[in-house]
Chain A
Amino acid sequence: MENKQKPQIISISSGKGGVGKTSFTINLAAALSAKSRKVLLIDGDLGLANVDVMLGLNVKHTLRETVEEGRDPLEILVEVMPGFFVLPASSGVPEMASLSYEEQAFLIDSLEQIIGNFDFVLVDTAAGVGESVLWFNNWADKNITLLSPDPTAITDAYALIKIMKTRYNKEDFHLIINNVKSKKEAQEVFDNMSTVLENFLGVKPCYQGAIPQDSAVSMAVRQQKPFLIAQPKARASLAVTEICNKILS
């Protein structure tokens, strides 16, 4: 137990749904594992799971069984590719989307028992600012917030950061601008967000990178494969590799 290294826990959130959290997270996990890191991806969208769908996994057990029956998370772990493991969640289970305090504590406890085996733990969180989103963000060492140039995505990302700063004293936010037409557009969105965060919340976010709007992303979703694997040369794939390198540096 003692010699286990503490992994880095990274939450990926956006407030708004459909911004690209799940696509980004599975690709970041693929990129990290390609660099020989042992990665655990937790599907934090506990009641409306998507990670298994996007990876085309045939899931037998889910985190629901950990919460409801105390099943060891190691038993539900799925290895997607060498070094890339997924803890799948259940879909269509509203109870899982609103866990009680005790269930939350039990889930986090169970997860903490197994994360020592990994270098990175990535949590793909649900949309919205429900409690699970907040406690996964609080649990994480590093909070990645995904946004797009869309005003609603911008507002929602800002609202989430405001909550994490105000209620949870979090300071260290990393922004990724997804679905951009150009690097310039990404930089504009980031600069503006950064100014507002500094002006109102005294928070200085970190620019983690940008991902272009790329048909390879939606194609890979339909193929149920990471775009990094399906189209390694695609612009989105290069962008994720760049973000991965930044995380490793």
Chain B
Amino acid sequence: MVKVNQQPGAEDFRAFLQLIEQEALRFSAELLPVAGETGLAPQALLVLDPTLSATRKGELAKALWAASLPATAQKQHLALPDRIAALSGAERFTECVHAELARVKKSRLPCSLLLVRIDGNGVDRAFLNKAAAALEMAMEGEHHLAHFGHATLALLLPGQNRNRALRQAGAIQQLLAAEITARVKIGLAVCLARAVPAAEEFMEMAFTELQKAEHEAGDIFYSFPSQDDDSCQVTAEERAQLFSFLNRGHKE
């Protein structure tokens, strides 16, 4: 970790960061600037092995930041020249989905998958790179982003149920509109512990929704296992029986 102890002039430090960034390009490394509480400018730069897990990266950042990392610390990825090349491809992503679905069975927590297609004819590599950079800003530790064919990005959201994933999809839509004025189509699939599909099937579900988003009115479509047998709401019948003994007591 490279860390500056006194807040430098923003300009100097930016040049310094760029220098390190250029150096790091020669290696397989990822740069994670760590900003302190006080200013917007990063105060440290962490050079990471990109194969590390998100949890491990967080641990490292925290451990290396000698005092504890301020709660408000900003994590922001610097733009690498080709982010898309650094993302997982379809094959590696399928493995991730597979592992995550196994975890759903164990933890019984849900998991969501978003397929985001950047709309429009002029979508080139540079634009896609910007989209990936913007998406990465909205991501949390365990989220996994992948590149899925031409203008499509896939985002795996462990632990997220339908409502949260839909909220995330809406946020992504707004973020990409604001940051890079891109319009997106999103297909979303949610997996619950009681009916875990195979990884390929799960991805196919999201893909079907994405196609709906492209051909029908509306930008976000989702598929969710039927809620009928998942509802836990206590029914009037159950209540009546729960309280029946109280009434009995009254009559006696």
Contacts and interface: CB of A to CB of B under 8 A. Distances in A.
Interface of A: 68-70, 100-102, 104-106, 135, 138, 151, 154-155, 158-159, 162-163, 166-169, 188-189, 191-193, 195-196, 199-200
* Dominant secondary structure at the B interface: helix
B41 interface: no
A128 B246 CA distance: 23
B241 A196 contact: yes
Contacts of B239: 155
User: Which of the listed residues B68, B229, B230, B232 has the most CB atoms from chain A within 10 Å of its own CB?
Assistant: B232
Contacts of B62: 69-70
A155 to B, nearest CB: 6
A135 B109 CA distance: 9
Given A168-B193, A169-B108, A102 B142 contact: yes
Given A106-B55, A167-B194, A189 B245 contact: yes
B3 to A, nearest CB: 18
Contacts of A70: 59, 62-63
21 contacts: A69-B62, A100-B140, A101-B142, A101-B160, A102-B54, A105-B55, A105-B142, A106-B55, A151-B243, A155-B239, A155-B242, A158-B242, A166-B229, A188-B245, A189-B245, A191-B245, A192-B241, A192-B244, A192-B245, A196-B238, A199-B241
Interface SS of chain A: helix, strand, loop or mixed? helix
Contacts, number: 81
Interface residues of B, number: 35
A163 B232 contact: yes
B241 A101 contact: no
Given A100-B140, A155-B242, A169-B108, A162 B159 contact: no
A70 B140 CA distance: 17
A104 B159 contact: yes
A193 B71 CA distance: 45
Contacts of A200: 235, 237-238, 241
A102 B140 contact: yes
B141 interface: yes
A195 B246 contact: no
